Amino acid sequence: MRAKEKYPHLWQFLAGYFHQDFLDDYESPDAAIAAFISEHTPDEIRTVCKELDEVIPLMEQMEDPHKFFSVDLGCEYYTRADGLTEVEWLRHVRKQLGCDQL
């Protein structure tokens, strides 16, 4: 099963808010996360959090998490330019979304 089908809410979040021109729309990656939060219900955010909780451990075991992150999950944000691995950034996203409080 493809990641788009297995993690549809996470895919929609990453591909929709972190497309190749996302910095034309948002001041920063954190601004894109804030926009997502303001435009979605707590239930929708909770669903993304649940999918993050599945994807993060999966990516920790991967030899090439960047390919999965960019190709399979559709995220065009190159986290390494900001000094973070893809997994580190997804943990940051999880924190910004308030996953532990939902």
Structural domain boundaries in the chain: 3-101
Q: What is the pLDDT of residues 33-58, one digit of tens each?
A: 999 999 999 999 999 999 999 999 99
- In this prediction the pTM is 0.95
The mean pLDDT of the chain is 97
pLDDT class for 6, splitting at 50, 70, 90? very high
pLDDT class for 22, splitting at 50, 70, 90? very high
What pLDDT does residue 102 have? Answer: 80
Distance CA(17)–CA(32), nearest Å, equals 6
Distance CA(83)–CA(86), nearest Å, equals 10
pLDDT class for 1, splitting at 50, 70, 90? confident
